[in-house]
Amino acid sequence: MQLTERKMEKSLCTLAAHKYSCVYHCAAAESQHSQNDSNSCTEVTHYRCNKKKLHRKNISRDSEEENNGEKKDASKTDEKKTQLDCPPLGLESLRVDDSQIRASSSQRSGLGPHRGRLNIQSGIADGDLYDGAWCAGYKDQNQWLEVDAIYLTLFTGVVLQGKNSIWSWDWVHTYKVQLSNDSVTWKTCMNGTEEAIFEGTRTHGPRCSTWYINGTVCLRAEILGCRVHDPDDIYSSEQDLGSKDPLDFRHHNYKEMRKLMKSVTEECPDITRIYTIGRSYTGLKLYVMEISDNPGKHELGEPEFRYVAGMHGNEALGRELVLNLMQYLCKEYKKGNQRVVRLVTDTRIHLLPSMNPDGYEEAYKKGSELAGWAEGRYSFEGIDLNSNFPDLNNIMWDAEEMAGDKSKVSNHYIPIPEYYTQEDAMVSPETRAVISWMQDIPFVLSANLHGGELVVSYPFDCTVGWAPQEDTPTADNAFFRWLATVYASTNLVMANPNRRLCHHEDFQAHNNIINGGAWHTVPGSMNDFSYMHTNCFEVTVELSCDKYPHVSELPIEWENNKESLLVYMEQIHRGIKGVVRDKMTKQGISDAVIKVEDHDHDIRSAADGDYWRLLNPGEYKVVVWAEGYIPSMRRCHVGMEPRATICDFTLTKIPLQRLKEIRTKGLKIPQDLLQLRLRALRLRKLRATTKVLNQRRVGQRRLQEERKARGA
Ligand SMILES: [Zn+2]
C-alpha cells in the first residue's frame, strides 16, 4: 500500500478468489422487484483495505501541507476526510478500458474479464457475448481478476457484486485483495499480521433459501482509488477533466436540492420561479423551476417546454443535470449569452428535477457505488412510475379496429379510461401530480431523463398486440427521429464512435436512437401518454451507462450533455405555430383542431387560441376547425431555419340559421366534442380522488406524529 515509497510504473489491484463454494439462489417470491433490471440477489459490499495505513497516509499529507505554510481549518480537515473516500477507477463508468482488465481464466468470452464491471447487465439469454459478470474457467483458489490503474494509485476500497442473470446466481463468497506495481510481485492486503480475507456475502436483503455447492467464481467489481502524484512521470499532472462552468457539482439530496433551487431564484429573481405540482407518497414536494422572461405567465404564442428527471429515483444523473441547467441558464442569462437570452425570452421552460424524490432518498442513503441497480427505482409504494400512466395506446388501437376506419377515430386527446380515475386505482401520487401538470400547461416539447444506458428512445413505447419488442412508430415518426437524433448526435459520449457499449445492446449501430417499442414494450409510459393525451412530444434520454455516477464524474457529465440539453430545447421552435381567431370578434378560439395532411395526429389550440405544431421542413396542407365554425385550409411552408413558421387562422362562425337546422334535425353531438367532454370529466374525477387520498395521507401522518409526541 505504501505506493509512494518506490518508483513504480503503474498500480495494479487483483481480487483473488479465496473461497467460492457458496452460490446464492434466491427464491423469486422473496425478491421485491423481480424486473429484468433488478436482480435483487446481487447486493453490493464495500471493504476498505488496510485502514491503518490509509490513516497514516492521511496524517503525512496533512503535515506536508503544514510544511508548505498552508493554513488549516476545520473545513479543510473535513475535506481531507472526504478525500479518503477515493473515487471509483471507473469499471462501471467505463473510464477503465477493457484492455486494463485481465483475469486468470474465463469460462468463455461472454464471461471474460471485460464483463467484471460493477452493475453490468446481461442480455436475456445466458451464453451470449455479453453476459452478466466475469466468470473464471476453473473452480479453484487460483482465480483472480486484475485491474491495471495505469497511474500510480492509492487503493482504498473494493465494491463487489455477483453475476447478473435471470437464470442463475453465481457469487464469490470470500476473496483476498493483492496489490502490485509491476504485476510480478504482489502484496496481499493484510489484517494485522494475517492475510485479510474479505467476505462477499450480502449484508442484508432477502434470505437465501437454497445453497448450491457447485457454484462458479463470478463477480462484478469496482475499485476505489486516488491517483497519487508521481515525480518520475512528467505527464502525471493530469489534465483537468472537469467543467469550466462554476456550477454546484455534487449530489443533492431533497433538502440540498431545495436550497440550491432557492439560491438560483435569489440569483435570478426576474427570470425564475419555483412552484410545486404535488407531493410524493411520503410527503416530499415535487418542485418545479420555471425559467422564462415572464415567470408565472403564459405569453401568447410562446411555447412551453419541460424536462422531467428522476422518475426512477436511483437514476441520479438526470436530477443533477437539470439542477446544473437551471444554474447555467441563470448565470449565462445574466452574462448576456445571446443564445441563452433568446431561449429564455422565446420559451417558457419548466424543470422538474425529481419526479420520484422518495426513491432518490433511498438510493442517496447508499450512495453512488453502493446503491444497487434497482434500489430507489420505484416509488415508495413500489410502483414503477414509467408504466403507471394510463395506457391510451390500446384504447385507440382497439377503437380503430372496431371502427374499421382509422379516420373515424380520434387520434389525439384520448381521454383517461374510467378505471384509472377510481380512488383505489394503483396510481401513485407522483403520477397523479404529473398528469394534472400536463393538463394545466400547454406543453409542446419535453424529455424524460433516465440513466443506465446511452440511447434516446422515442414513442411509441407500447407495442401493438403485446409484442415484447416491435418497431411501433407514431404518425410523427420522422420528427421524433429528428428529436432523438438532435440529442444523441450532440451528446459527447454517444457521438464518440469508439465508445464501448454499456451492457449488452449495441445502440451505436442505430446512431444511438431507437423506437421505444423496438427496444422493449412499456404500456402506460409517460412519453406515450404525453403524445396521446396532450399536445406534447416527449422522448426518453438514457444519459449514461452508470445510473448513479460518482460525484467526481458530474462535471464531465455536464460537459457531455450541456450542448444536447440546450439544442434539444431549441427544437421547440420548429414547425408551424400561430393563433386561431374568430373572424368577427378577433378572440382566440381554444380547442381548435389543427390537422396536417398525411399526419394522423392532430393538435389543439391552447386557451388563448395559440397552437404549435412540430414539423420537419416541407410544404404542408393544414386544416383548422373548431366547434361551431367553418373549417379553414392553408398551405404552410416550413424551412430549414430553426424558427417556427407563423400560420395564423381566422375562422368564420357557421351561420345561426344553419346551426338551428342542425339542432332541429336532432343530430348527435360530434364524436370529437364527446371525446373532449369525457376527457375533462375523467380528469376532474382523477383530481377529486387524488385530493381524497392526499387528505387521508396527511391525516395518517398527523396521527403518527401525535402518537410519537405522546410516546416521547
Ligand atoms: Zn429509468
For the chain, percent helix, then strand, then coil, each to nearest 5?
35, 20, 45
| C-alpha 157 – ligand 1 centre gap (Å) | 28
| C-alpha 115 – ligand 1 centre gap (Å) | 22
| C-alpha 258 – ligand 1 centre gap (Å) | 23
Cα 210 to Cα 688: distance, rounded to the nearest angstrom: 48
Q: Tell me the average pLDDT across 354-364.
A: 96
Answer whether residue 440 shows pLDDT above 90: yes
| C-alpha 112 – ligand 1 centre gap (Å) | 27
Closest CA to 634 of 618, 622, 626, 645: 622
> Residue 624: which H helix or E strand, with range?
strand 618-625
| C-alpha 473 – ligand 1 centre gap (Å) | 21
Answer whether residue 214 shows pLDDT above 80: no
pLDDT in tens, 591-609: 999 999 999 999 999 999 9
| C-alpha 392 – ligand 1 centre gap (Å) | 21
Answer whether residue 280 shows pLDDT above 80: yes
* pLDDT band with cut points at 50, 70 and 90 for residue 391: very high
| C-alpha 315 – ligand 1 centre gap (Å) | 6
Q: Tell me the residue type at 301.
A: G
| C-alpha 639 – ligand 1 centre gap (Å) | 35
pLDDT in tens, 120-140: 888 766 667 788 888 888 877
* pLDDT band with cut points at 50, 70 and 90 for residue 148: confident
| C-alpha 374 – ligand 1 centre gap (Å) | 10
Per-residue confidence (pLDDT) for residue 70, from 0 to 100: 32
Task: Please give the backbone phi and psi of residue 243, each rounded to the nearest 5 degrees, phi first.
Answer: -125, 150
Per-residue confidence (pLDDT) for residue 75, from 0 to 100: 37
Answer whether residue 14 shows pLDDT above 80: no
**Which letter, b or e, does each residue of 5-42 get, where b requires 16 or more Cβ atoms within 10 Å of its Cβ?**
eeebebbbbbbbbbebebbbbbeeeebeeeeebbbbbb
Per-residue confidence (pLDDT) for residue 28, from 0 to 100: 24
Per-residue confidence (pLDDT) for residue 240, from 0 to 100: 61
Helix (H), strand (E), coil (C) string for 311-346: CCCCCCHHHHHHHHHHHHHHHHHHHCCHHHHHHHHH
C-alpha cell at 157: 476500497
Mean pLDDT of the chain: 83
| C-alpha 543 – ligand 1 centre gap (Å) | 10
Per-residue confidence (pLDDT) for residue 40, from 0 to 100: 30
Residues composing the chain = 712
Indicate the DSSP class of residue 63: H
Indicate the DSSP class of residue 266: H
> Taking the model in full, what pTM does it have?
0.85
Cα 685 to Cα 80: distance, rounded to the nearest angstrom: 55
- The residue ranking higher by pLDDT, 331 or 209, is 331
| C-alpha 526 – ligand 1 centre gap (Å) | 11
Per-residue confidence (pLDDT) for residue 11, from 0 to 100: 61
Per-residue confidence (pLDDT) for residue 237, from 0 to 100: 53
Per-residue confidence (pLDDT) for residue 241, from 0 to 100: 63
C-alpha cell at 321: 443535470
* pLDDT band with cut points at 50, 70 and 90 for residue 21: very low
With H, G, I as helix, E, B as strand and everything else as coil, classify residue 663: helix
Answer whether residue 566 shows pLDDT above 50: yes
* pLDDT band with cut points at 50, 70 and 90 for residue 255: very high
Cα 138 to Cα 127: distance, rounded to the nearest angstrom: 17
| C-alpha 385 – ligand 1 centre gap (Å) | 9
Residue 702 CB-density burial (10 A; 0-12 exposed, 13-18 middle, 19+ buried): exposed
Answer whether residue 696 shows pLDDT above 70: yes
Per-residue confidence (pLDDT) for residue 235, from 0 to 100: 59
Q: Which positions are annotated as active-site residues?
A: 542
